[in-house]
A and B are shown apart, each in its own frame.
Chain A
Amino acid sequence: MRQAPHLALGLIGRVFAILLLAVLVEYGASTFLYERASQFSVRQDEAHRLAEHLLIASKLIEEETPNHRPEEAAELTTTRYAIAWRATLPKPPTVSPSLDRLTQQIVTWEPDLARRDLRVSLTSPGRDGFIAGALRLADGSWITFRTRQPVAELDMAISRILLALTPAVALILIGGLLLRQTLRPMRDLARAADLVGHGAVEVEPVPERGPGEVRDVVVAFNAMQARIHRLIGDRTQALAAVGHDFRTPLARLRLRADAIDDDDLRTSIQHDVVEMNQMVTSLLAYLSGEDEADVEAPAPTDLAVMCATLVDDVRDHGGKARYHGPDHCEVAVRRVALKRALTNLIDNALHYGKRVDVRLDATGDSVTIAVEDDGPGIPAAERDRALEPFVRLDPARGRDTQGFGLGLAIVQRVAAVHGGQFVLDDAPAGGLSARIVLPRS
Chain B
Amino acid sequence: MTAPNIILVEDDPPLRTLTARALQENGYAVRLAATAPEMWRAFEQGPVDLVLLDIMLPGTSGIDLCRELRRVSDVPIIFISAKGSETDRVIGLELGADDYLAKPFGTRELVARVRAVLRRHAVERAPADREKGELAFNGWTVNLPRRELMSPTGAVVELTGAEFDLLVSLCDNAQRVIARERLIELSRTRLGDSSDRSIDVLVSRLRRKLSSAGNPAPIITVRGVGYMLNTPVERR
Give chain A's interface residues, CB within 8 Å of chain B.
244-245, 247-248, 250-258, 270, 273, 277, 281, 284, 288, 292, 295-296, 299-302, 305-306, 308-309, 312-313, 327-328, 330, 335-336, 339
Contact = CB atoms under 8 A, between A and B. Distances in A.
Contact of A250 (B83, B103, B157, B209): B103
B22 interface: yes
A309 B212 contact: no
A299 B153 CA distance: 12
Contacts of B158: 301-302, 305-306, 309, 339
Contacts of A335: 156
B208 A281 contact: no
A36 to B, nearest CB: 83
Given A299-B156, A309-B158, A327 B18 contact: no
Given A309-B160, A312-B205, A335-B156, A330 B151 contact: yes
Interface string B70-87: 000000000000111111
Q: Nearest 5 CB-CB pairs, A to B?
A: A251-B104, A300-B155, A247-B82, A330-B155, A254-B104
Contacts of A248: 12, 15, 82, 103
Contact of B156 (A270, A277, A292, A301): A301
A265 to B, nearest CB: 15
Nearest to B18: A255
A305 B87 contact: no
A335 B87 CA distance: 11
A245 B155 contact: no
B87 A252 contact: no
B208 A327 contact: yes
Given A328-B212, A330-B155, A251 B160 contact: no
B141 interface: no
Contacts, number: 97
Nearest to B90: A336
Nearest to B22: A255
B154 A300 contact: yes
B47 to A, nearest CB: 26
A252 B155 CA distance: 40
Contacts of B15: 248, 251-252, 255
B122 to A, nearest CB: 26
B107 interface: yes
A244 B55 CA distance: 12
A308 B153 CA distance: 19
What range describes how many residues of B lie at the interface?
Answer: 20 to 34
A350 B158 CA distance: 22
B186 interface: no
B205 A250 contact: no
Nearest to A274: B104
B87 A292 contact: yes
A336 to B, nearest CB: 4
Contacts of A309: 158-160
A244 B18 contact: no
A301 to B, nearest CB: 5
A128 B18 CA distance: 109
Contacts of B19: 255
Given A292-B85, A327-B208, A251 B103 contact: yes
B60 interface: no
A305 B104 contact: no
A257 B157 CA distance: 38
B211 A300 contact: no
B157 A305 contact: yes
Contacts of A252: 12, 14-15, 18, 104
B106 interface: yes
Contacts of B160: 309, 312-313
Contacts of B213: 328
Contacts of B156: 299-302, 335
Contacts of A306: 158
Interface string B49-61: 0000000000000
B104 A253 contact: yes
A301 B157 CA distance: 6
A426 B212 CA distance: 34
Nearest to A336: B86
Contacts of A255: 15, 18-19, 21-22, 104-107
Contact of A336 (B83, B87, B106, B208): B87
Contacts of A250: 103-104
Interface string B9-33: 0001011001101100000000000
A258 B107 contact: yes
7 contacts: A248-B15, A255-B19, A273-B104, A301-B158, A312-B160, A327-B209, A330-B151
B114 to A, nearest CB: 14
A254 B106 contact: yes
A252 B80 CA distance: 13
A301 B212 CA distance: 14
A24 B103 CA distance: 78
A8 B76 CA distance: 65
A313 B159 CA distance: 11
Nearest to B209: A305
Contacts of B22: 255, 258
Interface in B181-213: 205, 208-209, 211-213
Contacts of B208: 308, 327
Contacts of B82: 244-245, 247-248, 251
Contacts of A300: 153-156
A299 B160 CA distance: 19
B50 to A, nearest CB: 18
Given A247-B104, A251-B104, A305-B209, A256 B12 contact: no
